Structure 1
């Protein structure tokens, strides 16, 4: 059955409306909700001017690979926290800024990025550490549905 963990994902960016049905199907596959133990995701619940916040519980490995892949395919920035499973895996935060590779960090159970001592010891200057800490904080833009096809 695998180890299960919760997730919280914040998604932003612009998505052509014609792709919303596919996204909603992915959200339904993982039983993603608009709040912890709240209602299942429904596009009608989108709040104008805000990023999309979704929550899931009891997810295999604390992962939602189809949602991550969909966001990457469509250039949608996101921040996903996945809880840990004692003896199996640590909590993590995965960031995607809309381009480039995913960045992942060890996290706490209350969604804070953690820097292991080995990382910290690897920095030779305080400003290098501060720069990396800033990279680990991604501001997610509002989630916007575009009426027509994107050019």
Structure 2
């Protein structure tokens, strides 16, 4: 059986209306809601000019694989948080700015980004550490439908 944890994702960026049925299908298949333990997602909850935050408990491996792949393909920025699975993996924040590859940041169960001493030593400067945290704290833009 696959390990499962709570997770949430916030999505933004320019979304083509022609992809809305696919988005709804993926989100509903992943069992996501706009509230913890809420009703299944419906497109009516998607608001032009506002980012979309979706949540679920019992998320396999703490990732929304199909939804994240959709967002990367459609260049939709997102930030995903997933809780830790003791003995398997720690809590993390995954940031996709809309280009390049998603970046993983270790965090705690309250979604505060943390940094270990070895990583801090590799960063070497205070400015580099601040840049690291700036990247982790990416603010997802609102959704704009076209």
Category of TM-score, reference length = shorter chain: over 0.9
Hey, what does 1:132 align to over in structure 2? Answer: 132
Task: Give structure 2 stretches of 5+ with no counterpart.
Answer: none
1:33-80 Cα shifts (integer Å, max 9, x gaps): 011111211110123321000001101111111000000000000000
The runs of at least 4 consecutive aligned structure 1 residues that moved more than 4 Å come to none
Displacement of 1:124 in angstroms is: 2.2
Distance in 2 separating the partners of 1:110 and 1:8: 12
Distance in 2 separating the partners of 1:80 and 1:45: 19
Hey, what does 2:102 align to over in structure 1? Answer: 102
Task: Give structure 1 stretches of 5+ with no counterpart.
Answer: 147-151
Distance in 2 separating the partners of 1:77 and 1:124: 29
Distance in 1 separating the partners of 2:100 and 2:128: 21
Displacement of 1:144 in angstroms is: 2.0
Hey, what does 1:40 align to over in structure 2? Answer: 40
Hey, what does 1:149 align to over in structure 2? Answer: none
Cα pair 2:48 2:145 within 8 Å, conserved: no
Hey, what does 1:11 align to over in structure 2? Answer: 11
TM-score, with structure 2 as normaliser: 0.95
Hey, what does 2:29 align to over in structure 1? Answer: 29
TM-score, with structure 1 as normaliser: 0.92
Distance in 2 separating the partners of 1:41 and 1:73: 21
Q: Does 1:87 align with 2:87?
A: yes
Hey, what does 1:50 align to over in structure 2? Answer: 50
Displacement of 1:21 in angstroms is: 0.6
